[in-house]
Structure 1
Amino acid sequence: MFDPTDLYRLSEDVPELTDPVLLYHFDGFVDAGGAGRLALGHLLAELEHRVVATFDVDRLLDYRSRRPVMTFDTDRWTAVESHEIVLRLAHDTTGTPFLLLTGPEPDREWELFTAAVGTLATRLGAGSLVTAHGIPMAVPHTRPLGVTPHASRGELIAGRPSVFGKVQVPGSVAALIEFRLGAQGHDASGYAVHVPHYLAQAEYPTAAVTALEEITKATGLVFPLEGLRAAAEQTTAEIAAQIEASEELSTAIAGLEQQYDAFAAGTERSLMAEPSEMPTGEELAAQFEAFLAERDERHGD
């Protein structure tokens, strides 16, 4: 029997915590708009934190499919950006401690990795585990973003209806953690933010704001969101300018708005369906490519 604790190394000064929330997100699975990545990345950028445990990425990652970036300068290698899967301790704006687990999604040993997360949660007294990510939906960015909650116990998301029925989808480590650890008695939940399908490949800060607001509702943790909200407002303004300059885009967004409003009014039309006589998500995304490339180049300058 393999020992899951062999997958990570604890820091020398492991803190004594009382029922901290463990937030987690792994890069590599579906995350439309970068909702989960931007959300937890924002917390790491805004809040002080320290490493509690480091995972053995040599065992967990396939370097040939996820090659680290190396720097070559003139005649020698000078740097390498090594991958990390790290558990950190941070404090919210009220001083409440919580844990953050981030990094690339493991390529192998999913079951052992999930068990390792469970042992860390138990060792550190984490009462609940929470994740968030974005999923592409046929919704307009001009309406409030929807969220599909899911949890190991129905009581954790009571009163939250879902637009989904029973579906089968490709699995992820994040989902496996909720499934396996939930079966072992841990409280685990997640929030899938509905991101406009034509913005799924872009960085959409509004989705990250929504994700963190959902986490706050579920956990009581309070986060500094001013900078993220400002980025969301700027991105929304840039998108609006792009749409205003294109009659085709304006017509397409108006159609999505009509579908969204009809659904919200209680009709049987589904947000999952593609409306007729309207560009597909791929076609809309293609029309945004030039805009996004221009925006990224401008921000880089």
Structure 2
Amino acid sequence: MFDPTDLYRLSGDVPELTDPVLLYHFDGFVDAGGAGRLAIAHLLDELEHRVVATFDVDRLLDYRSRRPIMTFDTDRWVAVESPRLDLRLVHDTMGTPFLVLSGPEPDREWELFAAAVGTLVTRLGVGKLVTTHGIPMAVPHTRPLGVTGHASRPELITGQTSAFGKVQVPGSAASLIEFRLGAEGHDALGYAVHVPHYLAQAEYPAAAVTALEAVTKGTGLVFPLDGLRDAAEKTDAEIAEQIEASQELSTAIAGLEQQYDAFAAGSERENLMAESSEMPTGDELAAQFEAFLAERDERRGD
């Protein structure tokens, strides 16, 4: 039996904490709109933090599937962007300490990785594990973004409804952590933000705002969100500009709004997960928005 603690090394003094929250997200799994990735990046940009533990990515990653970027200058290699999977100690705006585990999703040794996270959870006295990401749904961006909560104990997400029944989906390292550590008695929960399917491949800051607001509601942590909200408002204004310029997009969004409003009024849950055959598909809508966003980025570059 391999020792899970061999997968990481501690950095500096181990902090003494009282029931801290561990917020975690791994790049590589479904994350529509970049909800989880943008949320974590925003927190690390805005809040003070230090590395507590670093995982051995040489053991966990397949470099041939995710090759690191290297820089070549004239006649030699001068730099490499080595991936990192770190556990950090962060403090929210009220000074409350919490932990953030982020980086690329491991390609291998998931069970050992989950066990390694479990040893850190025990050592640091973690009171609650929380993860978040985005999932594509047939919803319009002009309506409040929904959130599907899931947890190791139902009472951790009381008052929330789900748009899903019993389904089988591809697994993720984040889901396995929640499943395994929840079975060991740890409180673990997550929030899946419902992102408009036509924006799933774009960066959608509003999804990150919704994700962090859900985390605040579930943990009491307070985050600085003004900058993220400004980015969300700017992105929504640019999307509105694109819609106004296209009759096809305007019609499609109006159809989604009618579908969403009918669901909110009590229609069947499947309506939010199915697409009408009379409307452009998610891929077609996404292609138009991606072309617009690419043109916008090009204008900004000029």
TM-score normalised by L of structure 1: 0.99
- Secondary structure, counterpart of 1:25 in structure 2: strand
Give the residue type in structure 1 aligned to 2:160. R
Match of 1:272 in 2: 273
| 1: CA distance, partners of 2:100 / 2:267 | 40
Q: Aligned-pair distance for 1:299?
A: 4.0
The count of corresponding residues between Structure 1 and Structure 2 is 301
Match of 1:140 in 2: 140
What does the per-residue CA deviation read over 1:123-173, in whole Å, with 9 as the maximum and x for residues that have no partner?
A: 001101000000000000000000000000001011211010000000000
| 2: CA distance, partners of 1:67 / 1:282 | 27
Relative distance call for 1:291 and 1:15 in structure 2 (3 A) is same
1:237 equivalenced with 2:234 (yes/no): no
What does the per-residue CA deviation read over 1:59-93, in whole Å, with 9 as the maximum and x for residues that have no partner?
A: 00000001000001111111100000000000000
1:13 equivalenced with 2:13 (yes/no): yes
Match of 1:224 in 2: 224
| 2: CA distance, partners of 1:289 / 1:215 | 29
Match of 1:297 in 2: 298
1:281 equivalenced with 2:267 (yes/no): no
CA contact (8 A) 2:202 2:290 kept: no
Match of 2:38 in 1: 38
| 2: CA distance, partners of 1:166 / 1:101 | 29
Match of 1:99 in 2: 99
| 2: CA distance, partners of 1:95 / 1:196 | 34
What does the per-residue CA deviation read over 1:226-264, in whole Å, with 9 as the maximum and x for residues that have no partner?
A: 000000000000000000000000000000000000000
- Secondary structure, counterpart of 2:24 in structure 1: strand
CA contact (8 A) 1:25 1:36 kept: yes
| 1: CA distance, partners of 2:152 / 2:301 | 42
Q: Aligned-pair distance for 1:298?
A: 3.5
Structure 1 runs not aligned, ≥5 long: none
| 1: CA distance, partners of 2:289 / 2:224 | 30
CA contact (8 A) 1:259 1:275 kept: no
1:262 equivalenced with 2:254 (yes/no): no
1:149 equivalenced with 2:149 (yes/no): yes
What does the per-residue CA deviation read over 1:97-144, in whole Å, with 9 as the maximum and x for residues that have no partner?
A: 000000000000000000000100110011010000000000000000
Q: Aligned-pair distance for 1:300?
A: 4.3
| 2: CA distance, partners of 1:12 / 1:97 | 17
1:212 equivalenced with 2:223 (yes/no): no
CA contact (8 A) 1:150 1:157 kept: yes
Give the residue type in structure 2 aligned to 1:134. G
- Secondary structure, counterpart of 1:191 in structure 2: strand
| Cα-Cα RMSD | 0.9
- Secondary structure, counterpart of 1:83 in structure 2: coil
| 2: CA distance, partners of 1:19 / 1:267 | 41
What does the per-residue CA deviation read over 1:243-296, in whole Å, with 9 as the maximum and x for residues that have no partner?
A: 000000000000000000000011226211112310110111111121011123
Give the residue type in structure 1 aligned to 2:290. E
What does the per-residue CA deviation read over 1:17-73, in whole Å, with 9 as the maximum and x for residues that have no partner?
A: 111100000000000000000001000000010000000000000000010000011
| 1: CA distance, partners of 2:48 / 2:296 | 30
- Secondary structure, counterpart of 1:240 in structure 2: helix
CA contact (8 A) 1:38 1:205 kept: yes
Give the residue type in structure 2 aligned to 1:278. M
Q: Aligned-pair distance for 1:12?
A: 2.3
| 2: CA distance, partners of 1:88 / 1:58 | 20
- Secondary structure, counterpart of 1:52 in structure 2: strand
- Secondary structure, counterpart of 2:150 in structure 1: strand
CA contact (8 A) 1:60 1:109 kept: yes
Relative distance call for 1:212 and 1:300 in structure 2 (3 A) is farther
Match of 1:65 in 2: 65
Q: Aligned-pair distance for 1:297?
A: 2.6
- Secondary structure, counterpart of 2:33 in structure 1: helix
CA contact (8 A) 2:21 2:99 kept: yes
| 1: CA distance, partners of 2:96 / 2:184 | 26
Match of 2:108 in 1: 108
| 1: CA distance, partners of 2:25 / 2:220 | 19
| 1: CA distance, partners of 2:48 / 2:61 | 27
Structure 2 runs not aligned, ≥5 long: none
